Chain A
Amino acid sequence: MTKGTVIQAEGLTKQFGDFIAVDHISFEVKKGEIFGFLGANGAGKTTAMRMLCGLSMPTSGKATVAGFDVYKENEAIKRSIGYMSQKFSLYEDLTVKENMRFYGGIYGKSDAFIKQKTAFILEHLKLEKEANLLVKSLPLGWKQKLAFSVAVFHEPEIVFLDEPTGGVDPVTRREFWSMIYEAADQGTTVFVTTHYMDEAEYCNRVSIMVDGRIEALDTTIALKKKYEADSMDEVFLKLARGAKRGE
């Protein structure tokens, strides 16, 4: 493993019966990188992500996350990562503060840490006044930003974001991405999936999965050059059009 690599996959494969959901994928993600994980619906993104998060056992291949083996060191991986799913992940009937206390609690953080971190996040998001409101009374955009704050509450090395900005208004989407930038700037590695192709441009490097395999992996500039495209949208269309699955 090269220095500064936080995720390394080699021939990682997941098979369900005859169906190969993820087919020998190999890649590395560097510390502090924003890594875009793109692919058409059903290309195998979610399955690959689940294996890296320790939610699913690979069928074969090797992978380490934060230096820990996905087969044997599940628990250590879980302590080192944060996760935000496309399904909404805060408790609507708990207040903003209670949600943070709870998520800090499940990562075993001390009361002092939770208190300090909560104050910091509330100030950062300018949500001090709303700290004791139930989450369900907040606008969707705020909830989304809060969900991200909660995913990185325990200061994980890597944060996995599964389509974090679906349906969010364009202003909030920008605010959300500036939070991602900030996190990456502080050394957190960001592993993100999205259907917004302009968001793919914000990533340092992008991988594109087609039919369970990684068809392309490089910086956005290099990919556009290689596929003679003006935007990531075009690159994606050129690659994913050939997909067999889903047709």
Chain B
Amino acid sequence: MRQFTSFIKKEFYHIFRDRRTLFILLGMPVIQIVIFGFALTNEVKNAKIAVLDQSKDVASIALLDEFNASRYFDIERNLTSYNEIEPAFKAGKLKMIIVIPSSFGEELKHLNKAQVQLIADASDPNVANTLTNYASAIIMDYQARITQERKLPYTIKAEFRMLYNPQMKGAYNFVPGVMAMVLLLVCTMMTAITIVKEKEMGTMEIMLVSPVRPILVVVAKAVPYLVLSIVNIISILLLSVYVLEVPINGSIPLLMGVSILFILVSLALGLLISAATDTQQTAMFISLIALFLPTVMLSGFMFPVENMPFPLRTVSNIVPAKWYYFIVKSVMIKGLGFSSIIKEVAILTGMLVFFLLMAVKKFKIRLA
């Protein structure tokens, strides 16, 4: 026990002496939350658009007023002919052009139906999609109002309810993702790097010649990162609740419990990497390529797993972050209990046992 405590003390000295790394480790979750929360949002605001209004009657002006009033759009130019459309897209930063045909008001009044054309710059498909959706909604709103005025007999009104995320906030999606990413970076990469550093410096050799059990060396290395990770989870959760206003709907102890399980999986992976590598660069490279990228790409946090082709979907099953991401979404956002995540917890536990066994086995080989 004395050996163990002196080890842990030493590890904390290392961490606290290296202020820059410590700052990065503790600051990273904050920065990521801020970046994802405020900079990388899917919502589009004040998109610049142009209008080609060939009708210029009461109806078209009323419709365009609706657009102007919306915070999503900014009408920047008024075009006068079709020929101007293409140059306008090419010249400016226009995202969309609304074309109102000359007969708009007339047709609306007499035929009860009229057409509006929306031309969007789809070089960024997500933005184009979002904008046309917003525009359709504005047109629908306008239509609903004139319909009401005229009191037509039959109308079906669809009502939407966005379950679990009524405001359609991106934060609901990325908070669990950021948690998975940060934990993986701190636990896997840092543990792997510090252990390999001991090998590089030759201090590992001294340790192996001492009566300390190698497993103790390794476990002692992991403990400080476990503590740091728990601090990180708490800061991510506080930020998401108080800054991004993403509530924790489920049980906090359950959320912490599963997070610690994921931390342990990440630590075990870090140990495995450190056992298999001899230089800090290799350890970092493997952590980034083999873990970080799949976590971002395949966990479902950037791209929905359901939309992936079958082979990728299969591969995504071995990415621990995928399961953790699912668990956090279930517990934190949906407020579900343990019974609905048993399968995922079991998978993560299985991974933990597997990685630990592999790591221990690898370590024994090095001692032979």
Contacts and interface: CB of A to CB of B under 8 A. Distances in A.
Whether A and B touch (Cβ < 8 Å) is answered with yes
Interface of A: 53-57, 75, 78-79, 81, 83-89, 91, 93-94, 98, 101-110, 134, 160
Q: Which 6 A-B pairs have the closest CB atoms?
A: A105-B6, A87-B202, A83-B209, A93-B17, A78-B211, A79-B211
Contacts of A105: 2-3, 5-7, 9-10
B302 interface: no
B231 interface: no
Contact of B7 (A84, A85, A106, A160): A106
Nearest to B199: A87
A7 to B, nearest CB: 15
Contacts of B91: none
B202 A88 contact: yes
Considering residues A54, A81, A87, A160, which has the most beta carbons from chain B within 10 angstroms of its beta carbon? A87
Contacts of A109: 2
B245 interface: no
Considering residues B10, B17, B211, which has the most beta carbons from chain A within 10 angstroms of its beta carbon? B211
Contacts of B18: 93
A107 B210 contact: yes
Interface string B1-38: 01101110110011001100000000000000000000
A107 B115 CA distance: 85
A108 B211 CA distance: 9
Contacts of B207: 106
Nearest to A54: B209
10 contacts: A54-B209, A85-B202, A85-B205, A88-B201, A98-B13, A102-B6, A105-B10, A106-B3, A106-B7, A108-B2
A60 B42 CA distance: 68
A81 B211 CA distance: 9
A189 to B, nearest CB: 15
Contacts of B202: 85-89
Given A88-B201, A89-B203, A107 B14 contact: no
A153 to B, nearest CB: 11
A149 B35 CA distance: 51
A55 B210 CA distance: 10
Contacts of A134: 17
Considering residues B7, B10, B14, B201, which has the most beta carbons from chain A within 10 angstroms of its beta carbon? B10
A78 B202 CA distance: 17
Nearest to B220: A106
B22 to A, nearest CB: 12
Contact of B3 (A81, A84, A108): A108
A78 B206 CA distance: 10
Contact of B210 (A78, A84, A98): A78
Contacts of A106: 3, 6-7, 207, 210-212
B312 interface: no
Interface of B: 2-3, 5-7, 9-10, 13-14, 17-18, 201-203, 205-212, 367-368
Given A85-B202, A94-B13, A101 B6 contact: yes
Contacts of A98: 10, 13
Nearest to A105: B6
Nearest to A101: B6
Nearest to A104: B6
A55 B203 contact: no
Contacts of A53: 209
Contacts of B367: 55
A88 B202 CA distance: 7
A94 B18 CA distance: 11
Given A93-B17, A101-B6, A75 B211 contact: yes
Considering residues A84, A88, A93, which has the most beta carbons from chain B within 10 angstroms of its beta carbon? A93
A159 to B, nearest CB: 11
Contacts of A79: 211
Contacts of B13: 93-94, 98
A95 to B, nearest CB: 9
A85 B211 CA distance: 16
A170 to B, nearest CB: 24
A94 B10 contact: yes
Contacts of B201: 87-89, 91
A107 B211 contact: yes
Nearest to B16: A93
A55 B10 CA distance: 24
Contacts of B17: 93-94, 134
A225 to B, nearest CB: 36
A83 B14 contact: no
A55 B208 contact: yes
Given A56-B368, A83-B209, A91 B2 contact: no
Contacts of A87: 201-202, 205
A84 B202 CA distance: 10
A190 to B, nearest CB: 15
A86 B17 CA distance: 26
Nearest to A76: B211
B167 to A, nearest CB: 47
A78 B14 CA distance: 26
Considering residues A55, A79, A88, A105, which has the most beta carbons from chain B within 10 angstroms of its beta carbon? A105
